[in-house]
Amino acid sequence: MAKKIPEINSGSMADISFLLLTFFLLTSSINTDMGITRKLPPPPSDEPPPKIKERNIFSVLVNANDQLLVRGNLGDISTLKDKTVEFLSNPSNDPNLPEKTIKYIDLLGNIEVSKGVVSLQNDRGTSYEMYIMVQNELTAAVNELRDKLSKEKFGRNFEDLTSDAKKEAIQKAIPVSISEAEPKNVGGTK
């Protein structure tokens, strides 16, 4: 007669595993705020795109060697944010920098809004790291301008505003005007 071997009852192990999995899913945080926030263009229409004056375009080209060409001149990533801030704000109303239009915005009143657009063009060989660095610098420029206006009008940084209406007003005054063209071979080799 064969001797019975004691067994561990594993019927409830599946239930315990499921409960542990549920516990970890509910208690862990998943960072979903990844990526670059951009407003996508509307679907193509039969109408031609609006004409933008040359002075209102801040062109940034990145070649396959990760070199910048900013408004036709060799540029450096360390100065891109400052040049973008100067372009978009046009503090001295320079005729070579973008035009401004007066708009009435709730909570801000009549305010000058730049017609400037940042036009970004990458080469297909541009490294991902360089692409992200350029995007970060352009976003930092917009954030700096929003913080400056927010401090001037409401006494605190843009991110510290608690009212959605105030945030919306600042966003209307300083919109994210970044146009990104499809990557192509714009020069350089890797």
- The model's confidence at residue 180, banded by pLDDT at 50, 70 and 90, is confident
- Residues 3-31 have a mean pLDDT of 82
Greater confidence (189 vs 71) lies with 71
Strands 117-122 and 57-62: parallel
Greater confidence (188 vs 13) lies with 13
68 pairs with which residues across the strands?
Answer: 62, 75
Nearest residue to 60 via CA among 121, 2, 111, 112: 121
Q: Could you tell me the two tokens for 159?
A: 């991110």
pLDDT on residue 33: 60
- Residues 106-121 have a mean pLDDT of 93
pTM assigned to the model: 0.74
pLDDT on residue 11: 72
* SS3 assignment, position 172: helix
**What is the domain partition of the chain in residue ranges?**
56-180
Query: How much of the chain exceeds pLDDT 70, in percent?
Result: 91
Q: How far apart are CA 143 and CA 139, in angstroms?
A: 6
pLDDT at 1 over 70: no
59 pairs with which residues across the strands?
Answer: 119
User: Which of these ranges, 22-26, 84-88, 133-137, has the smallest mean pLDDT?
Assistant: 22-26
pLDDT at 104 over 70: yes
Beta-carbon contacts of residue 89 (< 8 Å; ≥ 6 apart): 114, 145
